Copies of this chain bind each other. A is one copy, B any other.
Amino acid sequence: MQIRILVTGGTFDKEYDELTGKLFFRDTHVEEMLRLGRARLDLSIETAMMIDSLDMDEAGRAAIVACCRGAAEHAIVVTHGTDTMVETARALAAAALPGKTIVLTGAMVPYAFGSSDGLFNLGSALSFVQVLPPGVYVAMNGRYFAWDAVRKNRDTGAFEPLER
């Protein structure tokens, strides 16, 4: 199975700039994480953008949708900031991409920090994308959620089922 990883930035990929003391984006850590995970998957990695998800706007979402629509793969993992991950999931669902399983994931703590959940989440998302039926999902906290059945709890930082 061929899998595409679409990188959009988010906490996942934030780094510490030792000259300014600020967090910033440089290159994605996804390749390094895949090496660490000894991943043996048929993967192609594409960086769509490198932004904080608080800065994600409609144009950004449209670009992500276009990337997913254009991708030859039927399994796509999107790395994304957690704050607006659910909104981007909604935009992808609205785009109605038949036959595609799209899993969004991210991290609460940058991968470059010792205490990051990023590697766990990447292993999780890459696994879910191989076995879930077509649709748009969020994979966080070891779980998966349909795009319309999840919210980020801003108090705990955890993703949880949306009461419907």
Contacts and interface: CB of A to CB of B under 8 A. Distances in A.
A38 B157 contact: yes
A42 to B, nearest CB: 10
Given A120-B37, A160-B40, A109 B18 contact: yes
Contact of A127 (B14, B116, B139): B139
Given A123-B127, A126-B124, A131-B132, A141 B19 contact: no
Contacts of A113: 16, 112-114
Contact of A120 (B16, B36, B128): B36
B154 A142 contact: no
Q: Taking the full assembly, how many copies of this chain does it contain?
A: 4
Nearest to A127: B127
Nearest to A21: B11
Given A18-B108, A109-B16, A142 B117 contact: no
Interface string A143-164: 1100000000011011110000
Nearest to A19: B157
Interface string A25-49: 0000000011011111100000000
Given A18-B157, A114-B114, A120-B123, A41 B143 contact: yes
Interface of A: 11, 14, 16, 18-19, 21, 23, 33-34, 36-41, 52, 83, 108-110, 112-117, 119-128, 130-132, 139-144, 154-155, 157-160
